[in-house]
Amino acid sequence: MARILLIQPNRWGRGFTSIWIPSHAGALKARKHEVKLFDCTFYKDWTENELIFNTENQQYKPTQYESFVEYKENSIVDDFNKVVESFNPDIIFWSALSSHIHGEGEYVNIQYGDLLVGKINTTAKKIAGGLQPTADPEGAVSRFPNIDFFIRGESELVLSEIAEKIDKDENITDVDGLIWKKDNKIQINHPQKIISNMDQIGPYDYSVFEDKVFFRPYNGKVLRAVDYELSRGCAYACSYCVETTIQSYYGFTDITNSGTLKNAPAYLRNKSAKRIFEEIKTLNQKFNIEFFRCQDTNFLTIERKMLEELSELINKSGLEIFLYIETRPEGINHLSIELLKKLKVDGVGMGIEVSSESFRKDHLNRFPAQKKIMDAFSLLKNAGIKRTSYNIIGLPNETEDMIIDTIKFNTILEPDNITVAFFSPYLGTNLHEESKNIGDFNDYEYNVDNQLRTVTKSSKIDKELLNFYKKNFAKFVREGLGELQQIKSDYLKN
């Protein structure tokens, strides 16, 4: 039996259950290994309070969230060192792939974990995976010197194999998917196979989290919630999205003229309905989870037969739960809405990104027409399902007028919630290359966070102006643009 210490390097100061943690904990425990989690979330000397920031921006409705959690005054480094000394892990692991890859620190957490482990002494093997080593293995080795081994691609089964070998005192350097150094030369092993049967991973284990992590602000309330995945993969290949780096790693690079994978069915995978229902029921009954924040990249491309079966199981159970999902406007119609209602979906998030249809096609590889987007928002509203619009500011070649047009388009859509993200130049994406080539961003950017900061050097729209629109985007959607110039003038003076 090996001992594995997982790190949650979250710096946002509010709890979320990054899906890679329960998936890896479950896979390791199923093979009789010992697992412990060190969660950085509530340390005052570590966090930047994203919840306060985005509540002030009107992205979130105000809640009493901070009365449900307690922040730690202790030094995070001291506490981490104590845990390492007492648990004496064979492996320290953090940062990994799952469906949970779209903007809550998944990209940058490898950097934060490297920073933390660099402050202690340990004989444990320090291993990290996730988006960055998948996209740029050589770069990851050079940027993060405190890490002994990296895993590209999905890592539940790879880490389990490594743990087995360590337990048997065997060499681990022949494991597929691994990156390591020998005589100062980077060794990149053959890619591991994609996990085609998600039930193979084993039941996800959420017991590693502190109880307060399960509290979640949602639409003005504080609920018991988890992040959850039914599936992995996306049929689309948007030019800015980190999903494309995973597609490329597993050889899914042929794209249609409409921006979809040519062999999408082989890339899209899901758990069985029975497995999903058992996990949901266990989480509801054991941890009183009522709200399931589904992180699946595009919910309505999940196998329809499985979703229908799952809806029947949920409806017969009488479980008092509800779901939030993400999907694309193309999938919203009367039939899919009936399915969503049977699945107890309370809210749907959809990417608008920018209002310009031609810009979306030419720069983002996204093809939904304006009318399709408007129809989708209207159909969901009529069905009583809450709608969240996802918007991006600071894209390469985006102008201030385009941001204003996106605000106007949101006003037409009348979303219940509005999310605004700074464009982040993710390694391995086409838009990262474009942004680098035009000088908006460096070859590599540290401290990337699409909610808290922009690191752009754009000549079209500077940081201060982007910060202004981040702060006021939702306000202008709800209250109109009549006072735009005065509010902007006052903001930039300060």
The per-residue pLDDT for range 328-337, each reduced to its tens digit, is 999 999 999 9
**pLDDT tens-digit series, residues 452-482:** 999 999 989 999 999 999 999 999 999 999 9
Predicted confidence (pLDDT) at residue 81 exceeds the cutoff of 90 = yes
- Dihedral over alpha carbons 70, 71, 73, 74 (to 10 degrees): 100
The contacts of residue 447 (CB under 8 Å, 6+ apart) are: 108, 111, 453, 455
Distance CA 330, CA 339 (A): 15
**pLDDT tens-digit series, residues 270-328:** 999 999 999 999 999 999 999 999 999 999 999 999 999 999 999 999 999 999 999 99
Angle at 452 between CA 451 and CA 453, to 5 degrees: 105
Which amino acid is present at 225?
A
For 229-314, where are the E strands, in sequence order? 231-232, 269-270, 291-294
Distance CA 179, CA 181 (A): 7
| Whole-number pLDDT of residue 9 | 97
pLDDT confidence bin for 268, thresholds 50/70/90: very high
Residue identified by tokens 């570590």 is 46
Residue identified by tokens 């100062």 is 184
**pLDDT tens-digit series, residues 301-315:** 999 999 999 999 999
Residue 92: in which H helix or E strand, if any? strand 91-94
Tell me the percentage of the chain whose pLDDT exceeds 70. Answer: 100
What are the Cα distances from residue 8, in Å, to 21, 140, 421, 472, 493?
A: 8, 19, 22, 31, 39
Predicted confidence (pLDDT) at residue 112 exceeds the cutoff of 90 = yes
| Whole-number pLDDT of residue 442 | 95
Predicted confidence (pLDDT) at residue 103 exceeds the cutoff of 90 = no
